[in-house]
Protein backbone atom coordinates (compact mmCIF):
# COMPACT_ATOMS: atom_id res chain seq x y z
CA UNK A 1 0.00 0.00 0.00
CA UNK A 2 2.71 2.50 0.98
CA UNK A 3 4.43 2.22 -2.39
CA UNK A 4 1.35 3.41 -4.24
CA UNK A 5 1.69 6.82 -2.61
CA UNK A 6 5.25 7.34 -3.82
CA UNK A 7 6.32 9.77 -6.55
CA UNK A 8 9.88 8.51 -6.71
CA UNK A 9 11.47 9.43 -10.05
CA UNK A 10 8.20 10.61 -11.60
CA UNK A 11 8.50 13.60 -13.93
CA UNK A 12 6.04 16.35 -13.01
CA UNK A 13 5.61 19.90 -14.30
CA UNK A 14 4.23 22.61 -12.00
CA UNK A 15 3.23 25.82 -13.76
CA UNK A 16 3.26 29.08 -11.85
CA UNK A 17 5.98 27.44 -9.79
CA UNK A 18 7.45 30.63 -8.38
CA UNK A 19 4.25 31.74 -6.65
CA UNK A 20 2.67 31.07 -3.27
CA UNK A 21 1.13 27.63 -3.87
CA UNK A 22 3.42 26.74 -6.78
CA UNK A 23 6.52 27.00 -4.60
CA UNK A 24 5.01 24.77 -1.92
CA UNK A 25 3.88 22.24 -4.52
CA UNK A 26 7.23 22.05 -6.30
CA UNK A 27 9.24 21.58 -3.13
CA UNK A 28 6.72 19.22 -1.55
CA UNK A 29 6.52 17.00 -4.62
CA UNK A 30 10.32 16.88 -4.79
CA UNK A 31 10.37 15.86 -1.12
CA UNK A 32 8.10 12.99 -2.16
CA UNK A 33 10.77 11.94 -4.67
CA UNK A 34 9.45 13.53 -7.87
CA UNK A 35 11.58 15.12 -10.58
CA UNK A 36 9.85 18.50 -10.81
CA UNK A 37 10.16 21.13 -13.52
CA UNK A 38 8.81 24.48 -12.35
CA UNK A 39 7.65 26.95 -14.97
CA UNK A 40 7.09 30.66 -14.62
CA UNK A 41 7.78 33.97 -16.33
CA UNK A 42 10.66 35.06 -14.08
CA UNK A 43 13.82 33.06 -13.52
CA UNK A 44 14.66 34.44 -10.08
CA UNK A 45 11.74 32.96 -8.13
CA UNK A 46 12.09 29.65 -9.97
CA UNK A 47 15.75 29.35 -9.03
CA UNK A 48 14.84 30.10 -5.42
CA UNK A 49 12.39 27.18 -5.47
CA UNK A 50 15.05 24.82 -6.80
CA UNK A 51 17.47 26.00 -4.11
CA UNK A 52 14.87 25.56 -1.39
CA UNK A 53 14.34 21.94 -2.40
CA UNK A 54 18.06 21.32 -2.04
CA UNK A 55 18.19 23.06 1.36
CA UNK A 56 15.35 20.88 2.61
CA UNK A 57 17.08 17.71 1.47
CA UNK A 58 14.39 16.65 -0.99
CA UNK A 59 14.79 13.13 -2.36
CA UNK A 60 13.81 14.37 -5.80
CA UNK A 61 14.97 17.43 -7.73
CA UNK A 62 13.49 20.72 -8.87
CA UNK A 63 14.56 22.20 -12.21
CA UNK A 64 13.59 25.70 -13.27
CA UNK A 65 12.38 26.54 -16.77
CA UNK A 66 11.26 30.03 -17.75
CA UNK A 67 7.93 29.74 -19.55
CA UNK A 68 4.93 31.90 -20.35
CA UNK A 69 1.82 29.76 -20.55
CA UNK A 70 0.45 31.91 -23.39
CA UNK A 71 3.28 30.60 -25.56
CA UNK A 72 2.74 27.12 -26.97
CA UNK A 73 6.46 26.96 -27.69
CA UNK A 74 7.22 27.60 -24.02
CA UNK A 75 4.77 24.86 -22.99
CA UNK A 76 6.56 22.46 -25.31
CA UNK A 77 9.89 23.46 -23.75
CA UNK A 78 8.52 22.55 -20.31
CA UNK A 79 7.50 19.15 -21.62
CA UNK A 80 10.86 18.64 -23.32
CA UNK A 81 12.66 19.54 -20.10
CA UNK A 82 10.77 17.11 -17.91
CA UNK A 83 11.25 14.33 -20.47
CA UNK A 84 14.96 15.12 -20.50
CA UNK A 85 15.29 15.07 -16.72
CA UNK A 86 12.88 12.24 -15.84
CA UNK A 87 12.45 10.26 -19.05
CA UNK A 88 8.71 10.89 -19.36
CA UNK A 89 5.87 13.23 -18.44
CA UNK A 90 4.11 11.46 -15.59
CA UNK A 91 2.26 14.45 -14.16
CA UNK A 92 1.27 18.01 -14.96
CA UNK A 93 -0.09 20.60 -12.51
CA UNK A 94 -1.92 23.58 -14.03
CA UNK A 95 -1.29 26.06 -11.24
CA UNK A 96 -0.40 29.28 -13.10
CA UNK A 97 -2.88 32.15 -12.97
CA UNK A 98 -2.19 35.76 -13.89
CA UNK A 99 -5.60 37.40 -14.07
CA UNK A 100 -5.94 41.08 -13.07
CA UNK A 101 -8.34 42.63 -10.56
CA UNK A 102 -11.48 44.65 -11.12
CA UNK A 103 -14.64 44.31 -9.03
CA UNK A 104 -18.23 44.07 -10.15
CA UNK A 105 -18.90 47.68 -11.15
CA UNK A 106 -15.40 48.78 -12.16
CA UNK A 107 -14.17 45.75 -14.10
CA UNK A 108 -13.12 46.37 -17.71
CA UNK A 109 -13.51 44.03 -20.67
CA UNK A 110 -9.77 43.61 -21.09
CA UNK A 111 -9.48 42.49 -17.46
CA UNK A 112 -12.18 39.85 -17.92
CA UNK A 113 -10.57 38.63 -21.14
CA UNK A 114 -7.16 38.42 -19.46
CA UNK A 115 -8.57 36.50 -16.47
CA UNK A 116 -10.40 33.98 -18.64
CA UNK A 117 -7.40 33.68 -20.92
CA UNK A 118 -5.02 32.87 -18.08
CA UNK A 119 -7.52 30.92 -16.01
CA UNK A 120 -9.22 28.83 -18.68
CA UNK A 121 -7.64 29.12 -22.14
CA UNK A 122 -4.11 28.47 -20.88
CA UNK A 123 -5.33 25.46 -18.87
CA UNK A 124 -7.13 23.95 -21.86
CA UNK A 125 -4.15 24.37 -24.17
CA UNK A 126 -1.60 23.15 -21.63
CA UNK A 127 -3.72 20.10 -20.84
CA UNK A 128 -3.88 19.21 -24.51
CA UNK A 129 -0.11 19.55 -24.86
CA UNK A 130 0.63 17.47 -21.76
CA UNK A 131 -1.89 14.79 -22.73
CA UNK A 132 -0.32 14.44 -26.17
CA UNK A 133 2.95 13.46 -24.49
CA UNK A 134 1.19 11.04 -22.14
CA UNK A 135 -1.00 9.26 -24.71
CA UNK A 136 1.76 7.06 -26.22
CA UNK A 137 2.50 5.63 -22.76
CA UNK A 138 -1.22 5.43 -21.86
CA UNK A 139 -0.46 6.77 -18.41
CA UNK A 140 -0.42 10.16 -16.76
CA UNK A 141 -2.12 12.45 -14.26
CA UNK A 142 -3.13 16.07 -14.76
CA UNK A 143 -4.20 18.23 -11.80
CA UNK A 144 -5.85 21.60 -12.30
CA UNK A 145 -5.75 24.12 -9.49
CA UNK A 146 -9.22 25.66 -9.22
CA UNK A 147 -10.67 27.41 -6.15
CA UNK A 148 -13.54 27.24 -3.71
CA UNK A 149 -14.63 30.45 -5.43
CA UNK A 150 -15.23 28.40 -8.54
CA UNK A 151 -17.90 26.63 -6.50
CA UNK A 152 -19.40 29.40 -4.37
CA UNK A 153 -19.41 33.18 -4.34
CA UNK A 154 -17.29 35.27 -1.98
CA UNK A 155 -19.47 36.71 0.76
CA UNK A 156 -19.29 40.50 0.34
CA UNK A 157 -19.27 41.05 4.11
CA UNK A 158 -16.03 39.06 4.42
CA UNK A 159 -14.24 41.75 2.44
CA UNK A 160 -16.20 44.80 3.56
CA UNK A 161 -13.41 46.09 5.78
CA UNK A 162 -10.66 44.81 3.47
CA UNK A 163 -11.80 45.47 -0.13
CA UNK A 164 -8.24 45.21 -1.43
CA UNK A 165 -8.37 41.45 -0.94
CA UNK A 166 -11.73 40.84 -2.62
CA UNK A 167 -11.66 38.26 -5.42
CA UNK A 168 -12.62 39.77 -8.80
CA UNK A 169 -15.72 38.32 -10.52
CA UNK A 170 -13.81 36.96 -13.49
CA UNK A 171 -11.60 34.92 -11.16
CA UNK A 172 -14.54 32.87 -9.92
CA UNK A 173 -15.86 32.46 -13.45
CA UNK A 174 -12.46 31.20 -14.60
CA UNK A 175 -12.10 28.74 -11.74
CA UNK A 176 -15.62 27.41 -12.30
CA UNK A 177 -14.59 26.85 -15.90
CA UNK A 178 -11.53 24.92 -14.73
CA UNK A 179 -13.69 22.57 -12.65
CA UNK A 180 -16.03 21.89 -15.56
CA UNK A 181 -13.19 21.48 -18.04
CA UNK A 182 -11.61 18.96 -15.65
CA UNK A 183 -14.73 16.80 -15.97
CA UNK A 184 -14.73 17.13 -19.75
CA UNK A 185 -11.05 16.25 -20.10
CA UNK A 186 -11.37 13.34 -17.68
CA UNK A 187 -14.13 11.77 -19.76
CA UNK A 188 -12.28 12.17 -23.03
CA UNK A 189 -8.81 11.19 -21.81
CA UNK A 190 -9.82 8.35 -19.48
CA UNK A 191 -9.93 5.70 -22.22
CA UNK A 192 -6.34 6.66 -23.06
CA UNK A 193 -5.12 6.01 -19.52
CA UNK A 194 -4.87 9.65 -18.45
CA UNK A 195 -6.52 10.89 -15.28
CA UNK A 196 -7.61 14.53 -14.89
CA UNK A 197 -8.66 15.99 -11.55
CA UNK A 198 -8.83 19.38 -9.90
CA UNK A 199 -8.22 20.75 -6.42
CA UNK A 200 -10.14 23.70 -5.01
CA UNK A 201 -8.16 25.47 -2.31
CA UNK A 202 -9.94 27.58 0.25
CA UNK A 203 -8.31 30.33 2.34
CA UNK A 204 -4.59 30.02 1.60
CA UNK A 205 -3.48 33.65 2.14
CA UNK A 206 -0.13 34.77 0.81
CA UNK A 207 2.46 36.01 3.33
CA UNK A 208 1.70 39.68 2.72
CA UNK A 209 -2.00 39.06 3.36
CA UNK A 210 -1.31 36.82 6.35
CA UNK A 211 0.43 39.80 7.96
CA UNK A 212 -2.96 41.55 8.13
CA UNK A 213 -4.20 40.03 11.38
CA UNK A 214 -7.66 41.57 11.14
CA UNK A 215 -8.40 40.09 7.74
CA UNK A 216 -6.93 36.70 8.64
CA UNK A 217 -9.15 36.61 11.72
CA UNK A 218 -12.17 37.38 9.51
CA UNK A 219 -11.27 34.49 7.21
CA UNK A 220 -10.64 32.10 10.09
CA UNK A 221 -14.02 32.90 11.62
CA UNK A 222 -15.69 31.42 8.53
CA UNK A 223 -13.73 28.15 8.52
CA UNK A 224 -15.00 25.14 10.50
CA UNK A 225 -11.38 24.33 11.39
CA UNK A 226 -11.15 27.89 12.80
CA UNK A 227 -7.95 28.80 10.99
CA UNK A 228 -6.54 29.59 7.56
CA UNK A 229 -4.32 27.19 5.64
CA UNK A 230 -0.55 27.02 5.34
CA UNK A 231 0.78 26.72 1.78
CA UNK A 232 2.24 23.26 2.40
CA UNK A 233 -1.23 21.89 3.14
CA UNK A 234 -2.05 21.82 -0.58
CA UNK A 235 0.81 19.39 -1.27
CA UNK A 236 -0.74 16.21 0.14
CA UNK A 237 -3.99 16.42 -1.85
CA UNK A 238 -2.14 17.17 -5.10
CA UNK A 239 0.47 14.48 -4.46
CA UNK A 240 -2.32 11.95 -3.89
CA UNK A 241 -3.99 12.81 -7.20
CA UNK A 242 -0.66 12.55 -9.02
CA UNK A 243 0.27 9.25 -7.41
CA UNK A 244 -0.67 5.64 -8.25
CA UNK A 245 -2.74 5.69 -5.04
CA UNK A 246 -5.36 7.65 -7.00
CA UNK A 247 -5.31 5.25 -9.95
CA UNK A 248 -9.14 5.01 -10.02
CA UNK A 249 -9.82 8.69 -9.35
CA UNK A 250 -10.60 10.95 -12.29
CA UNK A 251 -12.95 13.84 -12.98
CA UNK A 252 -12.96 14.70 -9.28
CA UNK A 253 -12.72 18.13 -7.66
CA UNK A 254 -10.93 17.70 -4.33
CA UNK A 255 -11.91 20.57 -2.04
CA UNK A 256 -9.16 21.70 0.36
CA UNK A 257 -10.87 24.48 2.26
CA UNK A 258 -10.96 23.56 5.95
CA UNK A 259 -14.69 23.05 5.56
CA UNK A 260 -15.50 26.56 4.28
CA UNK A 261 -17.98 25.31 1.68
CA UNK A 262 -19.89 22.94 3.96
CA UNK A 263 -21.96 25.64 5.67
Active site residues: 171
Q: Cα angle vertex 32, ends 210, 127, to 5°?
A: 80
Cα–Cα distance measured from residue 78 to residue 62, given in angstroms and rounded to the nearest whole number: 13
**In whole angstroms, what is the distance from residue 259 CA to residue 129 CA?**
34
C-alpha count within 13 angstroms, C-beta hemisphere, residue 158? 16
Q: Please state, in angstroms and rounded to a whole number, the distance separating the CA atoms of residues 79 and 5.
A: 23
CA distance linking residue 161 with residue 167, whole number of Å = 14
Sign of the CA dihedral with 204 first, then 165, 219, and 172 last:
negative
HEC secondary structure over 56-80: CCCCCEEEEEECCCCCHHHHHHHHH
User: Which three-class secondary structure state does DSSP give residue 193?
Assistant: coil
Q: Please give the backbone phi and psi of residue 199, each rounded to the nearest 5 degrees, phi first.
A: -120, 145
Handedness of CA 87, 92, 93, 94 (dihedral sign): positive
Amino acid sequence: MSGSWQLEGRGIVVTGGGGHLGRALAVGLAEAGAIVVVGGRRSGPLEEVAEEAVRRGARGRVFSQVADMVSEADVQRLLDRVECEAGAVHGWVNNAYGGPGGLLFDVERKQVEAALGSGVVDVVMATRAAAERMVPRREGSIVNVASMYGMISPQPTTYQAHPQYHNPPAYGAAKAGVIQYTRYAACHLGPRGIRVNSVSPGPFPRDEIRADDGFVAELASRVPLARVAEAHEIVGPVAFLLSPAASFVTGHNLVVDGGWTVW
